[in-house]
Amino acid sequence: MAFSSTLNHEELTFPEGFCWGAATAAYQVEGGWDADGKGPNVWDTFTHQGGDRVFRNQTADVACGSYARWEEDLKCIKQLGLTHYRFSLSWSRLLPDGTTGFINQKGNCFLKIEGIDYYNKMIDDLLANGVTPMVTLYHFDLPQHLEDQGGWKTGAIVEVFDAYAQFCFGTFGDRVKLWITINEPNVLAFCAYEKGLFPPGIPNPGTGAYQTAHNMIKAHAKAWHSYDSLFRKKQNGQVSLAFFSPWIAPANPASVTDQEAAKRAMALALDLFAKPIFIDGDYPAVLKSQVAAMSKKQGYLSSRLPEFTEEEKRMIKGSADFFAVQYYTTRLAKHHENSEKELNCLKDIDVEIFPDPSWQVSQQDSWIHVVPWGLRKLLKYIKDTYNNPVIYITENGFPQGDPAPLDDTQRWEYFRQTIQELYKAIHLDEVSLQGYYVWSLLDNFEWTEGYSSRFGLYCVDFDNPDLPRTPYKSAVEYAKVIQNNGIKGSL
Ligand code: NOJ
């Protein structure tokens, strides 16, 4: 490798075997929303209802058409030279009403085989090309039938999710060795069930996030135990779940109240989910006391944050084989006493959260302020808080607006700085980071932002019925990083 002429720039080579990936999710790329017997999921219903909850009432009925165009996606994966590809299974493509019972009872092999074959081919093709699959069981697209029965608000879903997980481990686990059970349970709990921004679209302020988080944590833990007791010995894979987490820093680093505020904000954003699973089966003490106090002021007889039983705590504690985190941005926090009149989980912690106005945004009006150093801080926090776990960054990315220039030089600069921060995390902070997945392989359906926000390494022309994929400059540059297992940079 040639050395740069700039003195303080050197080759930053990553540890051998470092995983360089990209990620997608079924609803965001597949299309084929009712193809070959697929059952409807909550996003199918939500987008079909219109009502201006999604940018221009767009849907992912077609999206990138990946259900019919897997070979084209594979070409992109090969061009990049990815070592790992993360994708999700569409639960209702495999089990149209979400339950394994439905298929077995009807004996409807046709439906079953269509869904399974699609994913079998993806997995086999990836492996044949030396790419390791990481498979997410559930990425926001709950089968509609299950939502109709209460979805994540009911405890009954824990068993149903476990049955689905066992079905997937049993069907694909001979070849898939890296599993994510639930993608961003924290985002789902807050966006879907607290605020009603995601389907089912009904806000439940003050209770929705806690109630559904509680069931998601149990569902994950139960599925992990099923893997551990029924599949691990034979399949020898690893199972975790993927958390969204910003880095949240004190607005005034010298202020003790701001430092405490930032800790409470991290507790709500990440530790609410991660501490039970990685430490002791229980929620952070600071959250338990804050929510209990606020609930009491509001006239509740008990805390709005549910409690785990001792048996549940034993089940939850230690139910993950690695730490998966998805980082997009950083925020500042300062103490702000909230009134009990504001019924809202986010208001339970007496914190005001905001970006530094000097930070660039990746795209106009985006929530993503570009703060590469925040990722290094977050990784160090995870190392220190969670006993130095093996960490995968299962998503990181920067959107462009639509139309997005193929020459995305500025965006690549964000990626480059981010990769440099990863290097520092590994070599200076000694974080056990094993992989990095760019969100996303393709421009795709960005939930309520529809196709207006483009995260792809490959541009997808959604106006062309052939949905051609064209690499952005970032794709070309990322391929070089992968090939060199590193980047030029400075420490
Ligand atoms: C995380 C989610 O998992 C993914 O679905 C989404 O598109 C990206 N964040 C970008 O917002």
Q: Render pLDDT for 242-288 as a digit per residue (tens, 0 to 9).
A: 999 999 999 999 999 999 999 999 999 999 999 999 999 999 999 99
Look at residues 280, 336, 283 and name the one whose alpha carbon lies nearest to residue 305: 283
Question: From the candidates 184, 194, 421, 449, which is the catalytic residue?
Answer: 184
Confidence of residue 101 (pLDDT cuts 50, 70, 90): confident
Q: Are 93 and 111 in contact (CB under 8 A)?
A: no
Q: Name which of 174, 170, 192 is nearest 123 in CA terms.
A: 174
Residue-wise pLDDT for 36-53, tens only, equals 889 999 999 999 999 999
Residue located nearest, by CA, to atom 11 of ligand 1? 446
Q: In the predicted model, is pLDDT for residue 103 greater than 80?
A: no
Cβ-proximal residues to 56 (8 Å cutoff; 6+ apart), any chain: 450, 452
Q: How far is the CA of 75 from the centre of ligand 1 (A)?
A: 23
Closest ligand 1 atom, CA of 140?
A: 5
- Can you read off the two tokens belonging to residue 230? 């029924």
Q: Which tens digits make up the pLDDT trace of 211-235?
A: 999 999 999 999 999 999 999 999 9
Ligand 1 center–CA 106 separation, angstroms: 35
Q: Hey, which of 180, 241, 439, 442 would you mutate to test ligand 1's pocket, going by the most ligand atoms within 8 Å of its Cβ?
A: 439
DSSP 342-384: ---GGGTT-EEEE--TTSPBSSTT-S-B--HHHHHHHHHHHHH
Q: Is 91 exposed, middle or buried (0-12, 13-18, 19+ CB in 10 A)?
A: buried
CATH class (in words) of the domain with range 11-247+266-324+362-488: alpha beta
Phi-psi map region of 352: left, alpha, beta (phi>0 left; psi -120 to 50 alpha): beta
Is 477 an annotated catalytic residue? no
Distance from residue 25's CA to the centre of ligand 1 (Å): 9
Torsion of Cα atoms, 11 then 12 then 18 then 20, to 10° = -80
Distance from the alpha carbon of residue 233 to the mean position of ligand 1, in angstroms: 33
- Find the mean pLDDT for residues 441-468: 98
**Ligand 1 pocket member 332 (CB < 6 A):** no
The CB of 477 under 6 Å from ligand 1? The reply is no
Instruction: Give the C-alpha separation, 257 to 333, whole Å.
Output: 10
Name the residue of 447, 449, 454, 457 to mutate for ligand 1: max ligand atoms within 8 A of Cβ.
Answer: 447
Residue 439 beta carbon below 6 angstroms from any ligand 1 atom: yes
Whether ligand 1 lies within 6 angstroms of the CB of 449 is answered as: no
For ligand 1, say whether the CB of 89 is within 6 Å of any of its atoms: no
Q: What separation in Å is there between the alpha carbon of 303 and the centre of ligand 1?
A: 31
Ligand 1 centre to CA of 101 (Å) is 31
pLDDT for residue 407 is more than 50: yes
pLDDT band at residue 108, thresholds of 50, 70 and 90? very low
> Considering only CA atoms, which residue is closest to atom 10 of ligand 1?
446
Atom of ligand 1 nearest to the CA of 368: 11
Please state, in angstroms and rounded to a whole number, the distance separating the CA atoms of residues 423 and 301.
Answer: 50
Q: Where along the chain do its domains lie?
A: 11-247+266-324+362-488
pLDDT at 399: 96
Report the pLDDT value the prediction gives residue 109, as an integer from 0 to 100: 44
Q: How far is the CA of 54 from the centre of ligand 1 (A)?
A: 15
Ligand 1 atom, smallest distance to 440 CA? 7
Q: Is the pTM of this model over 0.75?
A: yes
Active site residue 342: no
More confident residue, 488 or 302: 302
pLDDT score of 4 more than 80: no
Report the nearest-CA residue for atom 6 of ligand 1.
446
Name the active-site residue from 395, 446, 449, 477.
395
Confidence bin at 111 (pLDDT 50/70/90): very low
Task: State residue 115's pLDDT score.
Answer: 74
Looking at the predicted structure, is the pLDDT value of residue 351 above 90?
yes
Arithmetic mean of pLDDT over the chain: 94
Average pLDDT score over residue span 174-186: 98
